[in-house]
Amino acid sequence: MKIPAYFESGRPIFSFEFFPPKTEEGVEHLFRTIGELKALAPAFVSVTYGAGGSNRQRTVEVVKRIKGEHGVEAMAHLTCVGSDRDEIDRVLGQLKEAGIENVLALRGDPPKGEATFTRTADGFSYAYELVAYIRKRHHFSIGGACYPEGHVECRDLDKDLGHLKTKVDTGLDFIITQLFFDNRCYFDFVKRARAIGIGVPILPGIMPITNVGQVKRFTEMCGASIPASLLCELEAVQDDPAAVMALGIGHAATQCRELLSNGAPGIHFYTLNKSPATRAILRSLSDLR
């Protein structure tokens, strides 16, 4: 089923993001997590491409298994990194054969050890080019990424929003945001996006905080921010894992409730391949589902 159909239902949708593990042990752990989260009836789950476009074959294998063995709608991430048109067509062909109908089209980050993105020969430099290519040659539902606080490589918010408008006009069906911890970032972003004619669903991406050092690294890498008051609370309990978990779950649950109560079409959870925090948050939102 194509993801836009879920948005058309008028009910909040919930989805989960996973990354492809590097080991067989990690894969089995992932599928235990998926089994635990499947009971929460997600509209779909997505699987990333790995840093720098690595693990692309593992991504294909994981989404095929999620849909084939678990019957959960799966979306594969697809990036421009390290891929020419033939490779992109090959991956899309594999996905089509497996019954996958949804892809998240991204430029992707540079491979490890490289500071800047380099276009592959006969490949693409920007996500909008990949979107246009998929739209012209294939029949997938296409999602894209957006950055409420601006892309880490483009801190001019108006310019970054203009880039998003180009992607949407090229053929995106929906957008998923980068993680954020202050809902004003999302609501302000949606208002600005609608003002320039971006009309597709904008699904907020939420990452429950479970480790203080980890969330600091993530926000530094992606250009998001942690509100000063939240950071102060986290640092006060950072040596107590249970307290960090409780604080992270509580903050994310409050975020989700406010987002859904004020018009967000659903929540996309960045799970980090773990289920306890996401399960706890969704239990607290049972009245809104």
Active site residues: 17
Helix (H) or strand (E) holding 78: strand 74-79
Q: What's the CA gap between 54 and 109, in Å, rounded?
A: 10
Taking the C-alpha atoms of residue 127 and residue 131, their distance in angstroms, rounded to an integer, is 6
Q: What is the CA radius of gyration of the chain?
A: 18
DSSP 213: H
Q: Which of 137, 135, 77, 138 is nearest to 107 (CA)?
A: 77
Cα separation, 34 vs 51, whole angstroms: 21
Contact 54/83 with Cβ under 8 angstroms?
no
